[in-house]
Structure 1
Amino acid sequence: MAELLHRLGTFAARRAWAVIIAWVVILGITVGGFLIGFKGLSSSFDIPGTASGDVIAELQDELPDFSGASGTVVFHTTDGSALSAEQQAEITALAESGRDLPDVADVIDPFVTQQQLADQRQQIEDGRTKIADARTQAETGQAQLDAGTAQLDAAQTQLDQGRAQAEAAGFPTTELDAQRAILDAQRTELDTQQQTLADGVATIEENEATLEQGAELISFADGIRVVSEDGATAIVNVQFTEPRLELPQASKDAVIEHFEAKPVDGVGVAFSSDISQGVPQILGVGEVIGVALAAVVLIVVLGSLLAAAFPIITALVGVAIGAMATLAFSGVVQMASVTPILGVMLGLAVGIDYSLFVLYRHRKQLLQGADVVESIGLANGTAGNAVVFAGTTVIVALLALNITGIPFLGLMGTAGAISVAVAVLIAVSLTPALLGLAKSRVLGKRARARAATAAAMSDSATPRVRSRAIAPMSTLRAILTVIVAIVALLVVAVPAMSMRLGLPDGGSESADSTAYQAFTLTEDSFGAGVNGPLLITASLPEGLDDDEVLHDQLLVARELAGMDDVVAVAPIAVSDDNSLAAFQIVPAEGPNSTSTETLVRELRELPPVADDITLGVAGQAAINIDISEGLADVLPLYLLVVVGLSFLIMVMVFRSLLVPLIATAGFVLSLLATYGAITAVFQWGWLGDLLGVHNPGPILSFLPVILVGILFGLAMDYQLFLTTGMREAWAHGAPARLAVAQGYRAGRTVVVAAALIMIAVFSGFITSESVIIKSMGLGLALGVLFDAFIVRMLLIPALMHLLGESAWWLPKWLSRVIPNVDVEGSALERRHPVHHAL
């Protein structure tokens, strides 16, 4: 590999324009692919095969009108007064005309809905009045029947007495028999009327029972409103035909444009995150500042504006190619909005760093009087070789995200891996080409003078370099360093013990965003739970009629309403075949609250209602739990694959077992500290005002996995560039502890510079309005800070000093099996001694 990279570097230096044109052509191809293939991004996340996903699939089959995405448009008077009749009419007109928007199934007018709710309650009262009137009439009819029966009984008694007297006197009874027949007919008529009255009373009782069941069912929804009690706020619900993950961004934008196109005088409008959360801005002011800070670091380290510009240029080219190549496939596979952003983050950071590693080695050789072309080739074969192996560890960690089985996460990893691969290729080809064009101008004037002096003083292929004596650290200092570093990282990691995972809601967005305004208006006017209602499905027994369905709906509603932290339960639909009923639950708190999470778990643990009605739970809180649990389930396997493969790579690179072991252990410490820090900021709210976290909540559910993949790869980069110098010194005969000091001295400047550059670039993303990007930027910046400056620069050298010669122990049988990759390029340097400029 080193020899191949040496040839590539030499070729690029001598044929610079050919290499530059080749990369320009590649950039042009990716731009063309982007223009043809880009079809938009999704702002939603999902994991297939989850409990909530199964509920949505069931709704798509049985109740398709309720399986599509939905969002809310919140209207609120600017002065807090009740909405006037004219304002209500304008909002109603907007709602009615909004039904014609693309992919919109229905737009619910809040005033019509509120009136319907009031009408339903009035119908219940009217029904009760009618039943009471009917019961009164029945009671009056019963009294009349009882009086008629009493009269017939009296007449029958008189007739019986007269007949007895007539028979005793021997008189004829023909007339009396006729009267008896008349009484019998009248009694039959009374019996018929009594039966009719009894049937009527039974009907009244049945209607009353049905009415009371309906009244009880409706009463559970008393806590649900779409117009606030003070009349100042109204919620327009927008129901889409497409599922949440398949809803085009253009359809959501059309809804926003429609409701903003005709402002209602004196009324503000805000949109829930389901509608307003679009594709975040990839590059902003913060990112530009981050790159500018990286440029400052480069100028300080390299001492030349021209040299400092090269890593920036190559990184930007790599980012453009990687991002557009990824986005070109957005029409083939569904991409989350953060997919290209992750690629941009990594492309900028590693692109600058990898180019810096090659350039720094080249600059160092030039200062020793080396020939430009030979120096470029050797720098590419040594530092470039290390870049390839460092990039490989990052790529392995990112591609391993695909084993999680989570599509959006695997795609993010693949996009990031593409950006890193492009950065590596550019670092070992385009960077040498630019260096070839610049020749000795990559050095400042003073540095060029020193290089010329070094070349003039050289009388052999090996320059004479004066350096200060280097001594190993003391053992006491090493012990203290290990203790202090470990304790410090563990203390910072403490908050991670209370980490909660979830997806951001409107309350997590920036304070001036429309999603945040809609979230807070809804919470203040209707209660926190309205921002995150739960969707419940009930699978009913087969063959039920309408009355039996109502009975089962009531059973389910009673069960749901009896749960803790349930404010309201509303039946919303029943399938045509009466096999599935859907309910909406309004919890006491928002979708990311602990109580709502507990409620979802308790609902899923409920046994079947009445032994044969099974329940399903969906909604944002349920989706949050499913995604978090899905990620938690795959995290151990992911760690095993990433750490295992990287461990094998490090064993080959360092030809040691203990060095990869302590490198991995150090990474675990820095990772835990990173988890603790982001928990303190985003969940506890520490430094929230400074970092723009105004509403603390759960940590982004996939952030821990993302941090594992990226930070492990980056940590091994720094480990590689520091430890290869130590191994090179030890391999050349230096005592192990002295080799640690020599390797540390040789690599500290470039590693510090590289870490500062990464921190600057990642920190630029903290200013993003998107909480997803903000948390990723802060997590990566803190992770690099902890790992580079505490673990790699302090802890690892101290541990290497304490291990001494045993640090490089490797079983003989294993030494014979694994290949010698020679990352430091020692063999290459022997084959290609540097010729000095004249």
Structure 2
Amino acid sequence: MATFLYRLGRFAFRRRRLVLMMWIAVLAAVGISAMSSTGSTSDSFTLPGTQSQRAIDLLGKEFPQASAGGASARVVFEAPDGQKLTSSANKAEVESLVAQLEKSPQVSRVSDPFTSGQVSKSGTIGYAGVTYKVPGADVSDAAHAVQAAVVEQGEKAGITVSLGGDAVADKAASKAAELIGLGVAAVALVITFGSMIAAGLPLLTAILGVGAAILSITIATQFFDIASQASTLALMLGLAVAIDYALFIVSRYRNEIRDGHDPEEACGRALGTAGSAVVFAGLTVIIALAGLSVIGIQMLTSMGLGSAFAVAVAVVMALTLLPALLGFAGMRIMKGKLLSRRMKALERGEGESMGVRWAKFVTRNPVKVLAVSVIGLGLLAIPAMALRLTLPDDSMKPPASTQRLAYDTLSKGFGPGFNGPLTVVVDARGSDDPKAAAADATAVLGKLDDVASVRDAAFNKAGDVAIIGVVPGSSPTSQATKDLVSDIRDHSATLKKDTGADLMVTGTTAVNIDVSTKLAQALIPYLAIVVGLALILLLLVFRSILIPLKATLGFLLTIAATLGVLVAVFQWGWLADVFGVDQTAPIVSVLPILLIGVVFGLAMDYEVFLVTRMREEYVHGAVPTQAVVEGFRHSGRVVTAAAVIMISVFSGFLLDDAALIKSVGLGLASAVFFDAFIVRMTIVPAVMALLGHRAWALPAWLDRRMPNVDVEGEKLRHALTADSTNTAPEPVLAGVVAGNHAGSDSLSAPPVFTSSSGDADAAAVASALPRHHRGRSLGLSGLKQRRARDRGAAPPADTTESKATVLKELRRKLTRKS
């Protein structure tokens, strides 16, 4: 892997114009295809094996006219204060609005509030039910325009008109969250690199990668059922990881140049080392997100696969387009004019960074730091024990939206349970007296707790299947309504015994309850799969038993603390004013599953980026504590910047008015904060300081049987260093360049990366390198040959300059560049 990525990096750097043109062609093709796409998103889903789905399938056969799949809307009317809808003037106005709805395109039926009994007892609130001939995603702009005209006309007459249902178009989502996240990310990158060019490359590749992913998802809607939230999640996650991956590679590229390598060689080495970690980290995210498909809910599957595709695009962009852009940037990427005086001193190797000082503090006080961190996360996790799940409905819409207004108005006029009616299906095909069975079922339903009203049974043409409408007394997301659904299903066995008829509950509320139950049941198995995967992958990467255990336990702490924060804010209402939560509600049922999938990948990112550098230092002979400090010296700033970027991107979604988007943004931002700063940068060094050499222990029998993944690119570096020592005097000159550039008097080459596989593996890797690379370094002759080849001219002949003249020329060039 490291050798392949090394060669890929050099190729993309050298053939940068070709790579750039290929990506432009791909983006253009995807963009044109997306513009001509006629597909649309859909939030419909099936739940195989659940009672609500069996009832839906039965209704589709026995009541085809009621199961045609057309969209519906509720147009809610509220009379002015002190008046009633039944007054002559208001009634005439409402009837005029209903007539206008009947003439709307794509409408199949409109119910009149006054003739259908759809006016509240107080006479102040009523609604008209509108059924369309097409699904919600296919309702035309002309039909939406009629809805808007009805609202406007009613408001002019003094009647408050609001719209609810899946036939109502949501307002375009604000792009403020994405823009704010990008702005903070740009500031973090500039602070990290001190260079506009170095900061701009990760942003550019991230924007292009997310654009390509979103356009591809749009194209996929023609062939697959894609959830409407799939693009939003792909945008959030793709943007964050794309910036992270590019940040890590650019940072390693700059380090390789400081070590004395020419830009093309530095690009190859950066991809061979950091690129390997990016591939591994990206694969963990992709596997975790794609694993959402095993739950069996189409909506969740499309969200997971769409986000996994966005991450895959981010990885490919980082490994191909980014090296090409580095080729265009050249040495200008090293200019850090925006660095502070302290940062410039750190670049020269003077002083200690905050990350190094923090690592030293933690390793000096590992027990105290570990105790405070674990206890703190444990306290935050306590509310998670009260976790309740639900699916989003109009009650979670922004407070100023027409859907939320319609929901609240209907609750005020008809009771909180009116927005979540239950459809009870009596399957009496095996009963001797279907009508008597339906009557018994109606009587039983009327005696149950929390039932506001029961409608008479409506039979199919054959007279053996009936529908009974039940309106709960509590809101659709309440525990009382969930208990009511359970009570109705519990009476099914008794009715079956007495009459031979089956009793089933369906409808939107029952389906939401079944979905939430299924997701809650899948939470632990999915978590076990993810944790098991983490243990195996980290065992292969770090060749250690204790480090994977430590990493996965830290991941579980992160998940528990994050769920605790979500419950405290959105379910209990703590700090509700701070986060703009206007009412409490259960947590959206898909969120815990998504958190596990997404945070697992991000946690492994930080673990790999940080601990691989510790392993490199340990392999080279550093004592365990010093290896931890050196790992922070090399990677602490990059991991900090990556975490700040992700937190800023996710936190931007807290500005959205919708409770669903707020909860996703707060959950992901909290998880990144907990995992990056508390688990990876505090608990990890404390545990490794306590474990010492035992942290890297691996039984000999397991070491012999395990493949060597070599995420750090040790074999590649060993091969490159060993190969370069076979030529002289250029390795010495390369050491001089590296020493002068770093402000050191040392003439030694960069550290050799050893490998447990020995020199045979290094020789095998060296033989696979490009022939023109073998023995190359940054000597003056090599620079002249590179420049001549880039200009298309023949390489200059080697001269017999003395070593002193060569060194003088190199020092002059480096002084001029600096």
Q: TM-score, normalised by structure 2?
A: 0.82
Deviates more, 1:771-780 or 1:93-102: 93-102
Q: Distance in 1 between matches of 2:49 and 2:538?
A: 37
| 2:602 pairs with 1:602 | no
Secondary structure of 2:456's match? strand
| 2:369 pairs with 1:366 | no
State the partner residue of 1:73: 75
Displacement of 1:744:
2.4
Secondary structure of 1:37's match? coil
State the partner residue of 1:412: 303
2:477 alignment partner, one of 588, 592, 595: 592
Matches for 1:617-636 after TM superposition, within 5 Å: 617-636=505-524
Q: Distance in 2 between matches of 1:447 and 1:605?
A: 69
Q: Distance in 1 between matches of 2:196 and 2:568?
A: 39
Q: Distance in 1 between matches of 2:504 and 2:142?
A: 32
Deviates more, 1:764-773 or 1:338-347: 764-773
Deviates more, 1:661-670 or 1:231-240: 231-240
1:233 alignment partner, one of 118, 121, 125: 125
| 2:182 pairs with 1:291 | yes
Q: Distance in 1 between matches of 2:143 and 2:38?
A: 22
| 2:305 pairs with 1:305 | no
State the partner residue of 2:410: 522
Q: Distance in 1 between matches of 2:321 and 2:231?
A: 23
State the partner residue of 2:245: 354
User: After superposition, what is the alpha-carbon deviation per residue over 1:564-600, rounded to whole angstroms, capped at 9, x for unaligned?
Assistant: 0001000252111111111111111110011111101
Q: Distance in 2 between matches of 1:512 and 1:423?
A: 36
Relative to structure 1, the CA distance from residue 770 to residue 29 in structure 2 (aligned partners, 3 Å threshold; closer, same or farther) is: farther
State the partner residue of 1:822: 710
State the partner residue of 1:212: none
**Is this contact kept in 1: 2:625–2:689, CA < 8 A?**
yes
Q: Which runs of no fewer than 5 residues in structure 1 stay unpaired?
A: 115-225, 455-462
User: After superposition, what is the alpha-carbon deviation per residue over 1:479-536, rounded to whole angstroms, capped at 9, x for unaligned?
Assistant: 1111111111111111111110001222211110111100111111111111111111
AA aligned to 1:266 is G
**Is this contact kept in 2: 1:43–1:277, CA < 8 A?**
no
State the partner residue of 1:779: 667
Matches for 1:161-172 after TM superposition, within 5 Å: none
AA aligned to 2:463 is N
Q: TM-score, normalised by structure 1?
A: 0.80
| 2:53 pairs with 1:58 | no
1:345 alignment partner, one of 236, 241, 255: 236
| 2:2 pairs with 1:11 | no
Displacement of 1:647:
2.1
State the partner residue of 1:27: 27
State the partner residue of 1:438: 329
Could you say which structure has the greater relative contact order, defined with CA pairs below 8 angstroms and 6 or more residues apart? 1
User: After superposition, what is the alpha-carbon deviation per residue over 1:333-373, rounded to whole angstroms, capped at 9, x for unaligned?
Assistant: 11111111111111100010100001111222334443222
User: After superposition, what is the alpha-carbon deviation per residue over 1:377-396, rounded to whole angstroms, capped at 9, x for unaligned?
Assistant: 21121111111111111111
State the partner residue of 2:315: 424
Displacement of 1:541:
5.1
Q: Distance in 1 between matches of 2:494 and 2:49?
A: 22
Relative to structure 1, the CA distance from residue 87 to residue 10 in structure 2 (aligned partners, 3 Å threshold; closer, same or farther) is: same
Relative to structure 1, the CA distance from residue 534 to residue 102 in structure 2 (aligned partners, 3 Å threshold; closer, same or farther) is: farther
State the partner residue of 2:92: 89
State the partner residue of 2:456: 571
Secondary structure of 1:582's match? strand
Q: Distance in 2 between matches of 1:473 and 1:733?
A: 22
**Is this contact kept in 1: 2:84–2:90, CA < 8 A?**
no
Secondary structure of 2:270's match? helix
Relative to structure 1, the CA distance from residue 254 to residue 45 in structure 2 (aligned partners, 3 Å threshold; closer, same or farther) is: farther
Q: Distance in 2 between matches of 1:80 and 1:361?
A: 71
State the partner residue of 2:215: 324
| 2:166 pairs with 1:274 | yes
| 2:549 pairs with 1:674 | no
Matches for 1:477-496 after TM superposition, within 5 Å: 477-496=365-384
Secondary structure of 2:687's match? helix
User: After superposition, what is the alpha-carbon deviation per residue over 1:740-763, rounded to whole angstroms, capped at 9, x for unaligned?
Assistant: 222123211000000000011111
AA aligned to 2:160 is G
Q: Distance in 1 between matches of 2:198 and 2:348?
A: 25
Displacement of 1:713:
0.6
State the partner residue of 1:188: none
Relative to structure 1, the CA distance from residue 448 to residue 367 in structure 2 (aligned partners, 3 Å threshold; closer, same or farther) is: farther
1:714 alignment partner, one of 602, 620, 624: 602
Q: Distance in 2 between matches of 1:633 and 1:696?
A: 23
Larger radius of gyration: 1
Question: Percent identity, aligned pairs only?
Answer: 41
State the partner residue of 1:108: 111
Q: Which runs of no fewer than 5 residues in structure 2 stay unpaired?
A: 722-733, 735-776, 784-809, 811-818
Q: Distance in 1 between matches of 2:484 and 2:289?
A: 35
Relative to structure 1, the CA distance from residue 435 to residue 297 in structure 2 (aligned partners, 3 Å threshold; closer, same or farther) is: same
Aligned residues: 709
Give RMSD over aligned pairs: 2.6
Secondary structure of 2:127's match? strand
| 2:500 pairs with 1:615 | no
User: After superposition, what is the alpha-carbon deviation per residue over 1:525-553, rounded to whole angstroms, capped at 9, x for unaligned?
Assistant: 11111111111111225687xxx665444
2:657 alignment partner, one of 760, 764, 769: 769
**Is this contact kept in 2: 1:12–1:19, CA < 8 A?**
yes
Q: Distance in 2 between matches of 1:47 and 1:393?
A: 28
Secondary structure of 2:454's match? strand
